[in-house]
Chains A and B, each alone.
Chain A
Amino acid sequence: MKETNPALAARRKFLSKLGRAVTYAGAVVGAGALSTAQNTAAKSEPSAGGASFPTKDYDWTKHRWGYGVDATKCIGCLRCVEACKRENDVPGTAHHFRTWVERYVYLEGETKPRIDSQHDPVNIEASGSEKEYRFANRYKDAKVDKAFFVPKLCNHCTHPACVQCCPTGATYKTKDGVVLIDHKYCIGCAYCVQACPYGARYFNHEKQVSDKCTWCYHRITKGLQPACVEICPVGARIFGDLEDNKSPISQFVRNNRVRVLKPESGNAPNVFYVGLDKDVI
């Protein structure tokens, strides 16, 4: 090809200029990224000095949290539900919960239980407010064969379906066994809300993100109990470190015949129940 074609020469000149510009730009951006990466590396790697993660007093490699529910003790006072919402800034409406309590009532002559929870309209009416919760005494005069309460919450599964389906890596399992949500990376697609076989997640319309129980990660990493466990007046909720043989949860699991909800789902839950009935799923 001759070099005399002016159009071709102009194109070649443009391309070579563009190439040079891209290379320079790439170098500049690359250098910037490198320096940022180094900065963060410097910030998040004091592990060289033996400091722990995620806080300086708490090392997540040394714990494996577990949760127990003794349904035979639950009195259905719903203090856990109110405390959880207060502790974790859950919207004050009747249908947003990180934890909830179900009531199962078998009436005489009926084979299936009647199930209600705190957001049932009858119970909301009994409490008189969407921010306070109470079980209405609706079966007071009925002939009840059997009745009990079952507290529920996120199971912090070993193989969580919600984590697998998240498209942005906004939900994940920590090394100490807690499933968390990064609200900054959550795009609010709510796939995880659909994926959870336990219905433990809800969509937070105020923040436009998915939300759920964290076992009060900000409390347990400070040596406190989750708010619901702290507040439970009858000891129906048990929490602790499964790595520690003497912790309340280790004793609970050891001294009772526990079961989990929907074991067939393959999620391998870490909330262990005592006193469930055949119809509780």
Chain B
Amino acid sequence: MPKHIVRLITLIVVFAALAAVAKWYFTADTFYEFGHYRGASVPEIAGLAPVFQTPQYCQACHTERHAQWSAGSHKSVICEVCHGAAQGHPQNGKLPIPKDTPKLCSLCHEAMPGRPRTQPQVAVAQHSGGQQCIVCHNPHSPKIAATATKVAGDAKAGQQRAAACASCHGERGISPNDSWPNLAGQNATYLARILAAYKSGDQKDVVMTPIAQPLSAEDIQNLAVYYATLSCVAPPSQSRVGDPVAGKAVAANCTACHGEAGIGPNPAWPKLAGQKPAYLVNVLKAFRAGLRKDPMMAGVTRGLSDTDIANLAAYYASQSCRP
């Protein structure tokens, strides 16, 4: 073979070897390990630290909250939806507790075309009147648990027992006095609940406590049914406590439970329409002062002025007790 050809071949071989070595050297070590990519990049990506930690992580310390949340209707909404990712907590400090609840809750619960019918939705502005959602709803278990237990009593037996109540609440459940509530036509579930609360001491009243204590559970049911069946129509109250028109604006905050005109959707809560205004004023002030204990009513009444209360009472008193 001519010498110059040998040289040429040698050169080509040398350059090919160089190229092969260069490729060997410069290609990442794991490049073809599994395919046309760097095998080492897989454990690199798999090794990143998770940011969201799951409710099990929160449960370790917040056991009680976790138990309450996991038993409630928000159990599909994990802690980190509202409180943010838990990575670095508790070492790096607290997680935020949302302050602007109408903004937060409306993300899921603002009535909006496109949301499935099964999703609980409200027109937030009308529903709460600008209040924080947590005034009424416990965010960890938001369904308002007014269990409307069925009241099964005998109205006739109730009527006999009610003779003792007539001096204050009237012969037919319409109170002769502005300070005591009408009972006629009131929700039986509510009446039974309140009487039971007086009996057990959960609710106290100088007059009612001694009257309710000797009542049997059966008496309570009978009384509740009896009063619920009476006609609520009463002569209009003579006392004027406030301005019903101004009261209507304040009452926007109460509609979710007590209805727009004082008759709510759930019989566990009392009807307010046509009730004695002076009685309503007293009760609202008692809730505000903490004398009557109810977590929801305490929250709702906290921000009310005396004028608000008077106007509210006037508004509900002026409504018709028949829907």
Q: Contact residues of A with B, CB < 8 Å?
A: 15, 19, 22-23, 26, 29-30, 32-33, 36-37, 39-40, 44, 53-55, 58, 60, 72-79, 83, 86-87, 103-105, 134-135, 137, 139-140, 142, 144, 147-149, 169-172, 174-175, 180, 182, 184-185, 214, 216-219, 221-222, 224, 227, 230-231, 233-235
Given contacts A30-B21, A44-B40, contact A218 B54 (CB under 8 A): no
Q: Beyond A87-B85, A140-B112, A185-B38: 7 further Cβ-contacts under 8 Å?
A: A26-B21, A53-B43, A86-B85, A169-B37, A227-B52, A231-B80, A233-B76
A170 near B37: Cβ-Cβ < 8 Å: yes
B35: A residues at CB distance < 8 A: 172
User: Is B71 an interface residue when CB atoms closer than 8 A count as contact?
Assistant: no
Q: Enumerate chain A residues within 8 angstroms of B51, measured Cβ to Cβ.
A: 86-87, 227
| Bound CA–CA A147/B119 (angstroms) | 14
A164 CB to closest chain B CB, in angstroms? 10
Chain A residue with minimal CB distance to B33? A44
When distances are taken between beta carbons in the complex, the residues of chain B under 8 Å from A216 are 50
Interface band, chain B? 35 or more
Within the complex, the shortest CB–CB distance from B312 to chain A, in Å, comes to 29
- Complexed CA–CA distance, A172 and B42 (Å): 10
Among B84-112, those with CB < 8 Å from A are 84-85, 107-108, 110-112
Complex Cα spacing A107 to B84, Å: 36
The answer to whether A175 touches B34 (Cβ under 8 A) is: yes
Across the interface, do A76 and B29 meet the contact criterion of CB distance under 8 Å?
no
B107/A78 in contact, CB under 8 A: yes
Q: Which residues of B contact A (CB under 8 A)?
A: 7, 10, 14, 17-18, 21-22, 24-25, 28-31, 33-52, 54, 76-78, 80-81, 84-85, 107-108, 110-116, 119
User: With the chains together, A219 CA to B51 CA distance in Å?
Assistant: 9
- How far is B133's CA from A138's CA once the two chains are assembled, in angstroms? 23
Given contact pairs A44-B39, A144-B113, A185-B38, A26 touches B52 in the complex (Cβ within 8 A):
no
CA distance A221 to B47 in the complex (A): 9
Smallest Cβ-Cβ distance to B52: which chain A residue: A227
**CB-defined A-B contacts under 8 Å, sample of 26:** A19-B10, A19-B14, A23-B14, A26-B17, A26-B18, A53-B42, A53-B43, A54-B45, A60-B42, A72-B116, A73-B116, A83-B80, A86-B85, A87-B50, A87-B85, A144-B114, A180-B41, A182-B44, A184-B38, A217-B46, A218-B46, A221-B46, A224-B54, A230-B52, A233-B78, A235-B76
Q: In the complex, A139→B80 CA distance in Å?
A: 29
Contact status of A230 and B54, CB under 8 A, knowing A29-B21, A185-B38? yes
Specify which chain A residues have a CB less than 8 angstroms from the CB of B114 in the assembled complex.
Answer: 76, 103-105, 135, 139, 144, 147-149
Contact indicator A44/B37 (Cβ below 8 Å)? no
Question: Are B42 and A54 in contact, CB atoms less than 8 angstroms apart?
Answer: yes
What are the 5 tightest A-B residue pairs by CB atom distance, in nearest-first order?
A: A40-B29, A147-B114, A182-B41, A172-B37, A218-B48
Within the complex, what minimum Cβ distance (angstroms) separates B297 from chain A?
Answer: 29
Q: Which residues of A contact B39 (CB under 8 A)?
A: 44
CB-CB under 8 A from A231, the residues of chain B are 52, 78, 80-81
Judged by DSSP, the binding face of B is loop
Q: Are B107 and A169 in contact (CB under 8 A)?
A: no
Residues of B near A74 (CB, < 8 A) are 116
Contact residues in A for B18 (Cβ distance below 8 Å): 22, 26
Of the candidates B14, B41, B113, B116, the one having the most CB atoms from chain A within 10 angstroms of its own CB is: B113
- Using Cβ atoms and an 8 Å threshold, which residues of chain B touch A83? 52, 80, 85
Residue of A nearest to B17 (CB): A26
**What CA separation (Å) do A218 and B33 show in the bound complex?**
21
In the bound complex, do residue B50 and residue A222 qualify as a contact, i.e. CB atoms below 8 Å apart? yes
**Complex formed: what's the CA distance from A134 to B100 in Å?**
15
Q: Give the chain A neighbours of B52 by CB distance below 8 A.
A: 83, 86-87, 227, 230-231
Residues of B within 8 A of A44 (CB): 29-30, 33, 39-40
**Chain B hits for A172, CB < 8 A:** 35-37
Residue pair B47, A218 in contact (C-beta under 8 Å): yes
Contacts of A36 in B (CB 8 A): 25, 29
Alpha-carbon distance A246/B49, docked complex (angstroms): 28
The verdict on A214 contacting B29 (CB below 8 Å), with A26-B18, A169-B37, A231-B81 known, is no
Alpha-carbon distance between A4 and B78 when the two chains are bound, in angstroms: 92
A84-B48 Cα distance, complex, nearest whole Å: 14
Residues of A within 8 A of B44 (CB): 182, 184
A221: chain B residues at CB < 8 Å are 46
CA–CA, A109 to B37, complex, Å? Answer: 52
Q: In the complex, what residues of B have CB within 8 A of residue A72's CB?
A: 116
Given the interface contacts A169-B36, A172-B36, does A75 sit within 8 Å of B14 by beta carbon? Answer: no
Return the contact of A55 from the options B14, B47, B54 (Cβ within 8 A).
B47
- List residues of chain B with CB within 8 A of the CB of A142: 113
> Given the complex, which residues of A lie within 8 Å of B116, measured CB to CB?
72-75, 234
- Within 8 Å CB of B111, what residues of A? 137, 140
Q: Please give the distance in Å from B113's CB to the nearest CB on chain A.
A: 4
The residue in B34, B85, B116 that gathers the most chain A C-beta atoms within 10 A of its C-beta is B116
- Bound-complex Cα distance A260 to B80 (A): 30
Which residue of B is nearest A216, CB measured?
B50
Task: Tell me, rounded to whole Å, the shortest Cβ–Cβ distance linking B226 to chain A.
Answer: 45
Tell me the minimal C-beta distance from B39 to chain A in angstroms: 7
